Structure 1
Amino acid sequence: MLHTYIISLWMVKTCEKLPAIFICIRKHPDYFSDTHQFVTILIKMDFNIFLLFLALTILFLSYFLLDVNYFIRAVFTIFMSKFFRKPIKFYGKSAIYGIVLPMDADLLFTHMNNARVFRELDFGRWDHLQRSGLLGILYRTKGWGVVSAQTCRYRRALHMFMMYKIETRPVYYDSNNIYFEQKVISIRDEIVRCLAHVKLAVNLDLDKVIAKHFPDTVKVPAPKDLELYIDYNRVNSERLRVTKKRSKSLTLQEIENDDVNKQGEQLLDT
């Protein structure tokens, strides 16, 4: 990453004076018994050294508390999509490229971890949203979009240092949801390694937005596999709502009777 490279160059320039610190610590160990004294001596010796330690501390805390690489790559993806890539239509297909690195590996260090696939799919959607103009529409209307459901088939493994591309395209939309189909394809053999369907929920009336900003777009029916996935989400939501209503409708007497029955079952088991 660019920021890591810049900090590394700074470290090379400033670390030439680091041996003086270690010599001072070795000759005067009592001076460094207190943290405040240590910081004061650092400032007196060389302010650049103090800035170096401060920068390293901030960098360490940033990587410890935040997924810095994710945010940097998301901003970089949007920047490149806006200024250096061609716009696409709503149903247009976008593609980004990547390579499997050790940071993506599972415990065996042989292929990409399944969880990292979903992370990579995020960047594919960022690219499509920016190039299609949907991201700008959400920004201007103070809208938002969140992933409310996603599923993925892991057809083949993405092996270490394998180059791949992520193809992203919307296949269906309703009043408040956009359904993306995303494919992870290996460059070497053009095999679809992973296939995902992602439901992006937005707080806008998509029928009006599409009609206004994409007047030449003709709404197409959902593919058969996506229809089944939409039905799954609907049935699952209904089941959870029924379970929630049932738990709220239980009276105190029913709860007490249920506790008594559980105690009786425990006594019989013993």
Structure 2
Amino acid sequence: MRYNIYVGKIFLLLSIFSCLFNLTFLIRRSISILAENVWMTPIFAFGLLSVPYVTYAVRAYVEVIWNAYVPDLIGRKRFGLMKEHVYSSIVLPSDCDIYNHMNNSRYSREADFARTRWYCDTGLLRFMQKTGKYLIMTASTIRYRRSLEVFQSFTIATKIIYWDERNIYLQHKFLTGSNFVNSIIITRMRVLAQNKSAEEFLQEFLGTSSTLEKSPLSAELKHYLNYLETCSNNLRPSSSFVIPK
């Protein structure tokens, strides 16, 4: 894994130099075109604003195609659903804010990529596509402990920590150095599976009818579930909850 990170950093630096070289050429060329065709300015501005979203979409599709469909073609063994899954990444300059560390919103995005890879590597994505039974996120909470700096490598450990009647709860740990937890995310995934419970959904995927063994409800998750229940009750039309002035 450490070797892959070093290779990734080398390719990243080469990509940055290449992009800067090409960007300089494109800026000079764009200025000359805009000087002759002022009406193209809004189109050029829209294109610049769209770049981050295009790269996000490309990265997402590459993750899915390479990790969900290619393994079926080459016969690669799938990752165990109940095991802790590890996803490696690195902080890019585009992930950082004015303080030169990863922006808070990027943690959720990186957790999305880690969860997508988890879907792919376990075979869960293909299972959901074939059966029409899905998991959708209905809640998420983040705890920040230490910032991630630009070009810092990290891993995201994803695992199922609990499930109830209708939901599966995932935990994403952002790890650096000696497995220091920089941040932790807990997500609630609602099971949409033709009135099947979360355990029945897992049993069908695993191909078993036996009762699944799950970890006991942790104290922090119990508090989080109480918060979600209280929040739902307060948001219902019949609630008498009043925001304090």
TM-score, normalization by structure 2: 0.70
Task: Extract structure 1 runs of 4+ deviating beyond 6 A.
Answer: none
- My pick for the range that moved more, 226-235 or 116-125, is 226-235
- Which amino acid counterpart does residue 125 of structure 2 have in structure 1? L
Match for 1:64 among 40, 47, 50?
Answer: 50
Hey, what's the Cα distance between the residues in 1 that align with 2:54 and 2:188? 25
Match for 2:92 among 75, 93, 101?
Answer: 101
Match of 1:179, SS state, is: strand
Hey, what's the Cα distance between the residues in 2 that align with 1:246 and 1:222? 28
Change in CA separation of 1:59 and 1:96 when aligned onto 2, cut-off 3 Å: farther
Q: Does 1:218 align with 2:200?
A: no
> Once the two structures are superposed, what CA deviation does each residue of 1:99-141 show, in whole Å capped at 9, x if it has no partner?
1111111122x21111110110001111111222222222122
> Once the two structures are superposed, what CA deviation does each residue of 1:13-52 show, in whole Å capped at 9, x if it has no partner?
xx9xx8xxx7xxx9xx8xx79x7xxxxxxxxxxxxxxxxx
Hey, what's the Cα distance between the residues in 1 that align with 2:122 and 2:225? 24
- Which amino acid counterpart does residue 101 of structure 2 have in structure 1? H
Hey, what's the Cα distance between the residues in 1 that align with 2:163 and 2:218? 11
Match for 2:235 among 234, 240, 257?
Answer: 240
2:110 maps to what in 1? 120
Match for 2:152 among 162, 168, 171?
Answer: 162
Query: Percent identity at matched positions?
Result: 27
> Once the two structures are superposed, what CA deviation does each residue of 1:197-235 show, in whole Å capped at 9, x if it has no partner?
111123122222222222264233322211221111011
1:196 maps to what in 2? 185
Q: Is the 8 A contact 1:87 1:132 kept in 2?
A: yes
Q: Which runs of 5+ in 1 are unaligned?
A: 36-52, 248-270
Change in CA separation of 1:143 and 1:65 when aligned onto 2, cut-off 3 Å: farther
- Which amino acid counterpart does residue 55 of structure 2 have in structure 1? N
- Which amino acid counterpart does residue 186 of structure 2 have in structure 1? H
Shift of 1:61: 3.6
Match for 2:64 among 78, 87, 91?
Answer: 78
2:82 maps to what in 1? 91
2:119 maps to what in 1? 129
Hey, what's the Cα distance between the residues in 2 that align with 1:135 and 1:218? 22
TM-score, normalization by structure 1: 0.64
Q: Which runs of 5+ in 2 are unaligned?
A: 1-10, 241-245
Hey, what's the Cα distance between the residues in 2 that align with 1:174 and 1:73? 32
Q: Is the 8 A contact 1:62 1:68 kept in 2?
A: no
- Which amino acid counterpart does residue 87 of structure 1 have in structure 2? R
Hey, what's the Cα distance between the residues in 2 that align with 1:105 and 1:65? 16
Hey, what's the Cα distance between the residues in 1 that align with 2:148 and 2:169? 24
Hey, what's the Cα distance between the residues in 1 that align with 2:120 and 2:113? 11
Give the RMSD, CA atoms, in angstroms.
3.5
Query: What is the number of equivalent residue pairs in this alignment?
Result: 205
Change in CA separation of 1:95 and 1:221 when aligned onto 2, cut-off 3 Å: same
Relative contact order, higher structure (CA 8 A, sep 6+): 2
Change in CA separation of 1:208 and 1:190 when aligned onto 2, cut-off 3 Å: closer
Change in CA separation of 1:65 and 1:196 when aligned onto 2, cut-off 3 Å: same
Shift of 1:189: 3.6
Hey, what's the Cα distance between the residues in 1 that align with 2:107 and 2:128? 25
- Which amino acid counterpart does residue 207 of structure 1 have in structure 2? E
Change in CA separation of 1:58 and 1:79 when aligned onto 2, cut-off 3 Å: farther
Hey, what's the Cα distance between the residues in 2 that align with 1:91 and 1:220? 11
